[in-house]
């Protein structure tokens, strides 16, 4: 299994306009692109991938999304389609347990610690950061990795401290600071070579 956890610092926690993903939805465009790059290949879906998104924007944070590649149906890789699926999930009443919204898409009230506690039982947490070890040196030794990455803001200091308590390793995909979805593409590329 491969997992990705994207922290959406401003991503809103109520239904939003699909016409303004990058603005009033709190950079939901980044989240949609990350989901697309994590899940989709040409004419198919990576069935061995799960994507988790922590939504920390107003008005009702925190909320978490879980997207399970092996269960997903009726999802297309474009931002508008994925945005619509997230919007539908955000219309549900949430509590601590995962609630199914559409096939393969779940939502719950969870914060970063809740998520990492749950996910570290089945994944080895890998923090993606520019100054980490070169992914090419470690990719083939990563078993059941969960890659944690930030949005345009990165990870706030306290969230980074939390991630570092769970992370087995800090990994870099480039000497450049890249966009989150670009990092996901590189991670898949390097792991697919193994
Ligand atoms: N201004 C933000 C900062 O300083 O953290 C930039 C965040 S970057 C657009 C989004 C996320 O992608 C980062 O939080 C990090 O997890 C990941 N990232 C970006 N470049 C990376 C690299 N070269 N190696 C590993 N992860 C990277």
Q: Can you give the residue ranges of every domain in the chain?
A: 2-192
- Residue 121: asked if its preceding bond is cis (omega within 30°), the reply is no
Q: What is the pLDDT of residue 103?
A: 98
Q: How far is the CA of 128 from the centre of ligand 1 (A)?
A: 7
- Compute how many other C-beta atoms are within 10 angstroms of the C-beta atom of residue 91: 10
- The values of phi and psi at residue 55, to 5°, are -100, 115
- 2-192, superfamily in CATH? SPOUT methyltransferase, trefoil knot domain (3.40.1280.10)
CA atoms within 13 A on the CB side of 70: 5
Give me the tens of pLDDT residue by residue for the chain, a chain 194 residues long. 999 999 999 999 999 999 999 999 999 999 999 999 999 999 999 999 999 999 999 999 999 999 999 999 999 999 999 999 999 999 999 999 999 999 999 999 999 999 999 999 999 999 999 999 999 999 999 999 999 999 999 999 999 999 999 998 999 999 999 999 999 999 999 999 99
Residue with tokens 């978490």: 64
183 marked as binding residue: yes
Predicted model pTM: 0.98
For a pocket test of ligand 1, which of 30, 135, 177, 179 has the largest count of ligand atoms closer than 8 A to its C-beta?
Answer: 177
């Amino acid at each position: 299994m491969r997992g990705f956890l994207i922290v959406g610092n401003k991503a809103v926690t109520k239904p939003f306009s699909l016409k303004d993903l990058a603005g009033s939805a709190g950079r939901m465009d980044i989240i949609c692109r990350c989901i697309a790059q994590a899940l989709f290949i040409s004419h198919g879906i990576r069935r061995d991938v799960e994507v988790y998104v922590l939504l920390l924007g107003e008005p009702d944070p925190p909320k978490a999304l879980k997207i399970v590649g092996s269960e997903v149906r009726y999802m297309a890789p474009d931002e508008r389609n994925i945005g619509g699926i997230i919007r539908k999930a955000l219309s549900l009443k949430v509590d601590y347990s995962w609630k199914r919204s559409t096939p393969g898409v779940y939502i719950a009230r969870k914060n970063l610690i809740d998520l990492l506690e749950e996910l570290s039982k089945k994944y080895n947490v890998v923090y993606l950061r520019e100054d980490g070890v070169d992914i090419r040196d470690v990719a083939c030794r990563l078993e059941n990795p969960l890659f944690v990455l930030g949005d345009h803001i990165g990870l706030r200091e306290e969230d980074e401290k939390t991630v570092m308590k769970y992370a087995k390793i800090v990994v870099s995909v480039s000497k450049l600071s890249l966009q989150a979805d670009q990092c996901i593409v590189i991670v898949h590329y390097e792991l697919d070579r193994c």
